[in-house]
Structure 1
Amino acid sequence: MTMQEFLSELGRRLAEKWFSLLVLPGLLFLASVTVAAVVGQEHWNDWSYLIRRSRDYAADLDRQPAVTLVLAAVGVLLASAVVGLAAGALAGVAQRLWLGDWPRPLRPLAARLTDRLQERWRNCEDPVAQNRISLAEPDRPTWMGNSIGAVRIRVEIAYALHLAETWPHLWLIMPETSRNEVEQVRSEFNDAARLGAWGLLYFALGAVWWPSFLIGLVTAFSGWRRGRTAIDGFSKLTEAAVDIYGPRLARVLGFGSGGVPLDPKTGLLISLLARKHA
């Protein structure tokens, strides 16, 4: 493949991704905004009214010059992309909220919720019920945040390994198939957060057209459920990666043979190397 063919293929794939992630969902949302603006709360279920008004608008468009129609179409595509970018930014906010990284105004509430979860976890006598709360003592106000936090705590208890500092080293020695699996569930979490963000936008549109409330609730809930599933898979894969490839990392760094499981002494040496004794 020549460089020109490579760049052409790359441009095509980027255009497809840009259209599927930004433009297409944005067009659907703009269509909903248009319906909401036309029918409002008063005619929310009057489809004959919507059809009649749509025919009037279509007749007005037919009388416009071709240049105006082309510019309008370009404007709609750009507006769709802008809405898609806004949903992407909102998805980042949703991820932080799901993972328990709440902004300063919400931190007192986060602290109270975390305290309640810790109390429930400590007083729970049924191990199965306790694990449903968290696999380790909760330190975040949300289940997703505690699912990730439990991996860090369990790895540190078992191997004295500080996961945040050593994960990049572990990632470099993992086979491509294993990295692809981790990246896949991470991508699923991103998609779930984006779906939840679209749900919030539709929910806000309900102020103009109340059926959009229902669309937003269903969409946001679906995104949240998918997010839980993705985080559960991501947490399990991360912990499994430490168990399986931790001994190999110890061998590569010169701290073990690679043929036996990690022990706390070796894990601490790896952590110290990763942190550069900081």
Structure 2
Amino acid sequence: MQEFLGELGRRLAEKWFSLLVLPGLLFLASTAVAVIAGQQRWNDWSYLIRRSRDYAADLDKQPAVTLVLAAVGVLLAAAVVGLAAGGLAGVVQRLWLGDWPRPLHPLATRLTHRLQERWKNCDAAAQNRISLAEPDRPTWMGNSIGAVRTRVELAYDLHLAETWPLLWLIMPETSRTEVDHVRSEFNDAARLGAWGLLYLALGAVWWPAFLIGLATCLTGWRRGRTAIDGFSKLTEAAVDIYGPCLARTLGLGSGNAPLDPKTGMLITLLARKNT
């Protein structure tokens, strides 16, 4: 047990360092450069090196205890910045998925209506590039998830919001691992986008940080699209493959019969407990 707890602690420490502290240290270093150089001396590396040497010389004069406390303070500050980026990642996810806050509802409504008009007035191939079902969100990622919900409901009369936990419980470990993996990739992409936003804000002090933030945001967004595409496909495939098994497990299907709308509706009613 002690070996297990020790290994668990080591893994948690490694994850904590890689997800929070290391990116936080990089951001703090960028912030230090931004504060020292500013907008006027953004590319004056000789000035930056000179000021850095001055700070290092001042630190050499401090007692060891002060240096240790300063190092601990920097690590804690990096962790705090990492936690802030993690919290901001949730906001990024909501924006990407089209779940926008109330002040942005009018804009979301206009963008959604525009997407719906485009979707209705183009051919099948162009429709699929926009969304596999009629858009109901202002973003591609949100519509990718929404299309799964719509297609499953149309094909099987199965409401994923209520029945997905049941389906998850009967899926084999390998399938759940695949779904968890792409979901984790989406979380990582959103966290990368959150760091990009922080660097964009730092651009107000040192404009090269704006370029770093823009590149980081775009990279996170592209990775998020890829992850959501994989997540949507795996979710729909899970319903197609394991839906009949769920019906048999619940006593609503028999043999190798495929899932049909009648059975899907019964599963939904059971999941809702007739509420």
Instruction: Note whether the superposition's TM-score is higher than 0.5.
Output: yes
Question: What whole-Å deviation, never above 9, does each CA across 1:217-251 have from its counterpart, x for those lacking one?
Answer: 00000000000000000000000000000000000
Match of 2:140 in 1: 143
Match of 1:173 among 166, 170, 173: 170
Write out per-residue CA displacement over residues 179-219 of structure 1, whole angstroms, 9 at most, x where no aligned residue.
00000000000000000000000010000000001000000
Alpha-carbon separation, structure 1, partners of 2:41 and 2:114? 46
Q: Tell me how far apart the structure 2 counterparts of residues 261 and 27 of structure 1 sit (CA, whole Å).
A: 54
The sequence identity of aligned pairs, in percent, is 85
Amino acid at match of 2:85: A
TM-score by length of 2: 0.99
Residues 50-199 of structure 1 mapped to structure 2, 5 A cutoff = 50-124=48-122, 126-199=123-196
3-state SS of paired residue (2:258): coil
Match of 2:43 among 42, 45, 49: 45
Q: Distance in 2 between matches of 1:68 and 1:37?
A: 23
Asked whether 1:239 is paired with 2:239, we answer no
1:15 to 13, 16, 37: 13
Deviations 1:87-125 (A, max 9, x none): 00000000000000000000011011111111111111x
Q: Tell me how far apart the structure 2 counterparts of residues 128 and 45 of structure 1 sit (CA, whole Å).
A: 48
User: 1:229, 1:33 → 2: CA distance?
Assistant: 31
- TM-fit CA distance, 1:258: 4.8
| Change in CA separation of 1:61 and 1:258 when aligned onto 2, cut-off 3 Å | farther
- Answer whether contact 1:199 1:220 (CA < 8 A) is retained: yes
Asked whether the equivalents of residues 139 and 146 of structure 1 are also in contact (C-alpha less than 8 Å), the reply is yes
- 1: CA distance, partners of 2:203 / 2:153: 46
SS in 2 for 1:74: helix
Inter-partner Cα distance in structure 2 for 1:190 and 1:146: 18
Contact 1:22-1:85 within 8 A present in 2 as well: yes
Aligned amino acid, residue 87 of structure 1: A
Q: CA deviation digits over 1:22-61, x for unaligned, max 9?
A: 0000000000000001111111001111111111111100
Alignment check: 8 A CA contact 1:134 1:146 kept: yes
For structure 1, list consecutive stretches of 5 or more residues without a partner in the other structure: none
Query: Distance in 2 between the 1:68 and 1:263 partners?
Result: 70
Residue in 2 that maps onto 1:200: 197
CA displacement, residues 62-108 of structure 1 (integer Å, 9 cap, x when unaligned): 00110100000000000000000000000000000000000000001
RMSD: 0.6
AA aligned opposite 2:258? P
Could you tell me whether the CA contact under 8 Å between 1:186 and 1:234 is conserved in 2?
Answer: yes
The number of residues matched between the two structures is 275
Cα distance in 1 for partners of 2:161, 2:21 equals 36
Moved over 4 A (4+): none
Match of 2:257 in 1: 260
| 1:247–1:258 CA contact under 8 A, matched in 2 | no
